[in-house]
Every structure is written in structure tokens, then in C-alpha cells.
Amino acid sequence: MTSHSTSRPILVSSCLAGVPCRYDARSRPDAEIVRAVTEGRAIPACAEQLGGLPTPRPTAEIAHGDGEDVLNGRARVISIEGEDFTDEFIAGAAAVTQLVREHEITEAVLQAKSPSCGCGAIYDGTHSGEVVEGDGVLAAMLKREGIRVIPVRGARQEQN
């Protein structure tokens, strides 16, 4: 995580803060982010839960595009079971964006490769573990909002 110059909190992916909100109902805690949340320097949010998806849930990836394409209606978020989660992903990203506005947040540190939180690299939509360039749906929406989005340091191999 990077330092920031104002006293405003940053946004972080809930799973990095130790919340068991991942598709497999586990978390992926990052010690620095847990500390930042505990000290009130970071606010955790999970776009997929806020969009109404259950936990656990089938893993999902963006098919034929990235988060920006999803927001433009040119790509869909599809679960490994073939369900279309696009509406939930967009609704969740909008809920997190609202939270960001309310707290005047300007920076986010997000889980790597996730179809929601991934920044600059996401799974390729084939559920094969392959990664392509692009942002998740939340990262793309936050960028539109002018938020600086950063993948958590030491980008991990774990899914979602």
C-alpha cells in the first residue's frame, strides 16, 4: 500500500482486510491493509457482496473484454456455471462508488486480478487461470470517477 498525503481514508478490497467475502467464503488478509482498517485509515468494501451476490458464490470472470467493456455494454460477467452476473457486478461497483463519493476517497488499493477489483490485469474469461491486461468492473468505474486504483502489492496468483 502506498502512503497518501491527506487524512482521508482510502478504499480497500474487503477480502484484503480479512473479511471472508471471496467466492469461496475465505479472505486474503494483507497485514498492512488490516492495520490500516483497524486504525481508521482505510474503509473496506466488497463490490460483489454489495451487488447482491451470495457468499460463497460461483467464481466469475469477464468474457470477451474487461471492466470498461462491461460498463459500455460490450462484455458480460459470466460465472463458471454459466450464470450472467453482469447486473450484480455493475450494481456492486456503483454502490462502492457511492461510498467513495460520500467519504471523498481519492485512492483505492484493490485485490489483484479479480473481475471486480483487478487493476491492470484480470483473468481472461476462460476460467483457465490465464491473465490478460484490463481492469475489473469496480476498478474501471472508480477510474471513471477519477480515483487512483492500485493493485495490492505482490500481486498474488490466487483467484478472485
Query: Quick check: 121 binds ligand SF4 (CB under 6 A)?
Result: no
Tell me the angle at which helices 137-144 and 86-102 cross, rounded to the nearest 10 degrees: 40
Query: Quick check: 97 binds ligand SF4 (CB under 6 A)?
Result: no
Amino acid at site 152: V
Torsion of CA 95, 100, 101, 104, to 10 degrees: 170
Query: Quick check: 160 binds ligand SF4 (CB under 6 A)?
Result: yes
Query: Quick check: 47 binds ligand SF4 (CB under 6 A)?
Result: yes
Size of the site for ligand SF4 (CB under 6 A): 13
Between 43 and 46, CB nearer to ligand SF4: 46
Residue range at the interface with ligand SF4 (CB under 6 A); choices 31-39, 43-51, 69-77, 80-88: 43-51
Q: Compute φ and ψ for 99, nearest 5 degrees.
A: -60, -40
Instruction: Determine how many CB atoms are found less than 10 A away from the CB of residue 128.
Output: 9
Quick one: which of 14, 65, 109, 139 contacts ligand SF4 (CB under 6 A)?
14
- Strands of the sheet containing 42-45, edge to edge, are 42-45, 10-13, 107-110, 148-151
- Binding footprint of ligand SF4 on the chain (CB under 6 A): 13-15, 21-22, 46-48, 111, 114, 116-117, 160
